Amino acid sequence: MSTQVCTGRHVLSLLLALVLAALAPFAAAQDEPARKAFRVCKDPGNMPFTNASGEGFEDRIAALFAAQLGLPVETYSFPQRLGFVRNTLRYKLPGADYPCDIVMGVPAGFGQLLPTKPYYRSTYVLVFPAEKALAEVRSAEDFLALPRATLDTLRIGVFDRSPASAWLDRHQLVDSGVPYLLMSPNPDEAPAQLIARDLAAGTIDVAVVWGPIGGYLAREAKDRALRVVPLASEPGVKFDYSMAMGVRFGEKAWKEQIEDLIGRNRSEIEAILRDYGVPLLPEPASPTVSDAPADSGGPRVAAATPAPR
């Protein structure tokens, strides 16, 4: 075969490759289905994030977005445990459609789906009844400056494998820790419920929890006023995390549409979060590649500890 023929075929191959590359984004966009509803994957009992009655802050943000898209809200419920994304967002029977299209709260670097840009950043907090030895505590420094004899008598609730456990260890408070399972075997018991019950009963004196949970506990407290004290990250203990929404891999157009809604509704989203008492932090100027902790077991674990939710 002549060199001319080989060269001609090579040029044609290159041209074909360039054409296909140019059409690839268009083809991907065309493969994404037309949205007939704003279909949310969610836990039916995980306040303050979501519940079956749509009373969580993620429920309210989903309703806001759906209204602006002119779509009804539909939900597919599944307890947020290990395998939540696999059994909701990525679950598909042959010949059937996916049951839902978006998870409304995941750590910004969560790797099991395609995360959007963050829509809020929060931090872990101390939550406690502001009375007796803790009456004057208004910062983490105040808490750690309490007499050692006082600290040693406190019962401090923490979720296992969370940054709170590392914080107790760093400040020689492990013996004061009261551990809670990262994922309760009862899917009807959300982390907020467990902590609220034990704070009210006096089983624990203080809890170290993810900010949205702490803020919600204080908002909902009836018999005893609760104080919420934000915690700053320390060397070896990361407390602050950015939270995003998540869609399926390959659905770039849907992700961009959600990000546009996030950008256009910043003030409305912030108002909703503040209504639930969520402690908010500014986004860092240079976000890290992954903002999710190594122990993230799923979205629920991403917010109760973050990994809780």
How far is CA 29 from its chain centroid? 27
Q: What is the mean pLDDT of residues 111-115?
A: 95
Tokens 């670097």 correspond to what residue?
109
Half-sphere exposure of 282 (CA within 13 A, CB side): 3
Tokens 């306040």 correspond to what residue?
47
> What percentage of the chain carries pLDDT values higher than 90?
69
Given a cut of 90, whether residue 81 has pLDDT beyond it is no
Q: pTM value?
A: 0.83
Q: What is the mean pLDDT of residues 64-73?
A: 98
Given a cut of 60, whether residue 303 has pLDDT beyond it is no
Whole-number Å distance between alpha carbons of 195 and 184: 12
Whole-number Å distance between alpha carbons of 138 and 126: 10
190-236 pLDDT, tens digit each: 777 888 899 999 999 999 999 999 999 999 998 789 999 999 999 99
Walk me through the domains of the chain, giving residue ranges and CATH numbers: 38-120+241-304 (3.40.190.10), 123-230 (3.40.190.10)
255-264 pLDDT, tens digit each: 999 999 999 9
Q: How confident is the model at residue 39 (pLDDT cuts 50, 70, 90)?
A: very high
Q: What is the mean pLDDT of residues 89-106?
A: 95
